[in-house]
Amino acid sequence: MSDQRSASRTSASAAQPAAAGSNLLFLREEEIRSAQDLLFFAYRDFTNAADVILDEIGLGRAHHRCLHFIGRNPGLAVTDLLGLLRITKQSLARVLGLLVDEGYVAQSPGRADRRQRLLTLTERGQALERRLFEQQRDRLIAAYREAGSGAVEGFRRVMRGIMDDEARQYIDSADTSARGRKG
């Protein structure tokens, strides 16, 4: 009788996949350094896809990040953008000033608080952000195809694990909003 219970427990546990991170023996220093290499090279090549376009028009990565987050969040307050980018007001003022002057971003006063500045992409800004997105989208699609569908969720989990809680909250909120727009 105890052999039956033992056998059923063993077969039940064999059917259950191991919990994520339950076997961390593979996380030796060399594996972590290799992961760091992968992140650095992936970042370099991922951003380079957009850098070529940005260089043509005299913009940089900080401009791209602003275009991305303003495009994802039309009506974003300047203070909220500061929080997302974690840069100084002075740095953001330089970047935003150029984007506004070049006609990529429009600013408007807040509805409740007129001192608040809300940011949206102009048509020109939307076109540029779309062009930059398409360059990086193609690189991501190719990588996802090569890795296979099972790797997509693993990648997402690893990236979330690297982020702090504030970034995870932003991602969760963006995911919830995207699901709401689809349904």
3-class secondary-structure state, position 117: strand
- CA 83/CA 88 separation, integer angstroms: 9
Does residue 161 lie within any of the structural domains?
no
Whole-angstrom Cα distance, residue 109 to residue 115?
6
> Average of pLDDT values for 103-126?
92
- Residue 80 in any domain: the answer is yes
Q: What is the pLDDT of residue 111?
A: 83
Q: With respect to residue 85, please indicate whether it lies within any of the assigned structural domains.
A: yes
Residue scoring higher pLDDT (56 or 116): 56
pLDDT of 176 reads 75
3-class DSSP state of 25: coil
Q: What is the pLDDT of residue 114?
A: 77
In single-letter form, the type of residue at position 102 comes to E
pLDDT digits over 41-50, tens only? Answer: 999 999 998 9
Answer yes or no: is pLDDT of 13 > 90.
Answer: no
Length of the chain measured in residues = 183
178 domain-assigned:
no
Confidence check: pLDDT of 27 > 90 = no
Structurally, the chain folds into a number of domains equal to 1
> Residue 13 falls within a domain, yes or no?
no
pLDDT at residue 174 tops 90: no
What residues make up the domain containing 140? 29-147
pLDDT digit string (tens) for 151-169?
999 999 999 999 999 999 9
- Domain membership of residue 18 (yes or no) is no
Segment 167-175 shows an average pLDDT of 88
CA 148 remoteness from chain centre: 20
Average pLDDT, the chain: 86
Tell me which range, 7-16, 29-38, 123-132, 166-175, is most confidently predicted by mean pLDDT: 123-132
Does the pLDDT at position 106 exceed 60? yes
| Upper half-sphere CA count for residue 48 (Cβ side, 13 Å) | 6
Report yes or no on 133 lying in a domain: yes
Q: Give the residue-averaged pLDDT of 8-20.
A: 46
At 12, is the pLDDT very low, low, confident or very high (cuts 50, 70, 90)? very low
> What's the distance, Cα to Cα, between the start and end of the chain in Å?
52
Q: How far apart are CA 97 and CA 107, in angstroms?
A: 10
Contacts of 77 (CB under 8 A, 6+ apart): 110, 116, 117, 118, 119
Residue type at 177 in one-letter notation: S
pLDDT, residue 123, reads: 98
Separation between Cα atoms, residue 181 and residue 171, nearest integer Å = 15
Res 112: pLDDT: 81
Q: Which two tokens stand for residue 41?
A: 């090279």
Q: Does residue 101 form part of some domain?
A: yes
Instruction: Provide the CATH number for the domain around residue 50.
Output: 1.10.10.10
pTM of structure: 0.79
- CA of residue 81 relative to chain centroid, distance: 14
